[in-house]
Amino acid sequence: MPCGSVSSKPMREFALSHRKDSPIRLGIRSFSSDNGDLVDAVVPFMGESITDGTLAKFLKEPGDSVKVDEPIAQVETDKVTIDVASPEAGVIKKFVAKEGDTVEPGTKIAVISKSGDGVEHVAPSEKQKSDKHAPQTTPPPEKKKVDEQKLKADNAVVKEKPKAPSPPPPTRASATEPVLPPKERERRVPMTRLRKRVATRLKDSQNTFALLTTFNEVDMTNLMKLRSEYKDAFVEKHGVKLGLMSGFVKAAVSGLQNQPIVNAVIDGDDIIYRDYIDISIAVGTPKGLVVPVIRNADKMNFAEIEKEINTLAKKATDGTISIDEMAGGSFTISNGGVYGSLLSTPIINPPQSAILGMHSIVSRPMVVGGNVVPRPMMYIALTYDHRLIDGREAVFFLRRIKDVVEDPRRLLLDI
């Protein structure tokens, strides 16, 4: 046996004794410490319907200390943003992926040192590659001599070569032309996966559905009075503020129960009637539009609805909402009024058949009992799939919303 192999055999047996189950990983961990000091941070499972995502950004830097399950990076999918957590407490040694990479569940993005000791190790192949591209400050004497002779020969050729006519100088721009071309004042930013998904779904909605919108206006006097009178007692008992959204959710539930076709959907040549009411609430976030779902809204009271809305809205804003909390939904409510929208035509969220648009409350002169008085008024809009829902059902549904919001006592008396 050659002498050179004597020292390598015990090392191999030592490694195999610690990693009997997977000897092939010897090459992958060849520069880890003997006690398994380095661990990998990998992309977690992202959901049944999500196969990959984009590594949006790192939340830490190499050399930063991390705790167990502390997020070190974020992966953006077409539905939600997923955190990549550190599997162990320690120090980030290096990143093995970069921002903008497409990653799948199980993809390694970082290496964590549990002890925090040592420096980043470089594999021999990587070291040779880096040495190959590194500039040589002191070339060998033989190579230096050859390079000098070649440089003298090139200079001689350049001197003998006739001069080419110099190109004409560029014409000066006139005083009326902009100093910077328009393209130099533009920025090209790739669309996020969430924005791509929203764009695709909304365009599919426009291409598939026969969209039609009907409008009405609601006198908000009684609902606002109800909230004003009971807001303190409501907070004291339920620990959450009484808002206007819960009133519209309850009104929508009543309308869907009166007009079940609005809660249905077309599937091929069939109509699927849903015996449940899951209402989606459109929430605008800095990263894009998300639509969390209030499950079984028909079985919830005002307090339960307000609590659920607050919880889902906070998760959506923080980016911690899960895919399950946005899946499904049989009807959507979009409140553009919080941004000051006076009137709009909302677009259906597939695979639903209708969406209710709320708008800002504006004090307008209204005729009440023969007298002109100021009233807090809101325009409401219902966009629906005219292939399934006729104008009659759509108008009746919107009228029910108006009746319940203007007189919430109807809910108590079921009239």
H-helix segments, 289-367: 302-318
The total number of residues written for the chain in this structure? 415
Task: Report the distance separating Cα 16 and Cα 23, nearest Å.
Answer: 6
Question: Which residues is 283 bridged to in the sheet?
Answer: 290
Q: Where are the beta strands (DSSP E) in 43-88?
A: 53-58, 65-66, 71-76, 81-85
Cβ atoms within 10 A of the Cβ of 177, count?
8
106 within 8 A of 43, measured Cβ to Cβ:
yes
Q: How far is residue 180 from each of residues 98, 171, 172, 265, measured CA to CA in Å? A: 33, 16, 13, 53
**Whether residue 238 lies in the annotated active site:** no
Q: What is the 3-state composition of the chain as percent helix, strand, coil, each rounded to the nearest 5?
A: 35, 25, 40
Task: Report the distance separating Cα 202 and Cα 208, nearest Å.
Answer: 10
Task: Report the distance separating Cα 250 and Cα 242, nearest Å.
Answer: 13
Token pair 């219902």 in the structure block, residue: 382
> Which residue type sits at 71?
P
Q: Cα angle at 373 between 372 and 376, to 5 degrees?
A: 135
Calculate the CA 3 to chain-centre distance: 60
Question: Which residues is 76 bridged to in the sheet?
Answer: 54, 81
User: Which one of 390, 403, 407, 414 is the catalytic residue?
Assistant: 390
Closest CA to 400 of 253, 183, 279: 253
User: Which one of 37, 238, 386, 403 is the catalytic residue?
Assistant: 386
Task: Report the distance separating Cα 11 and Cα 364, nearest Å.
Answer: 86
SS3 187: coil
> Which residue type sits at 310?
N
Token pair 């807090």 in the structure block, residue: 376
Would you name the residues annotated as active-site residues? 386, 390
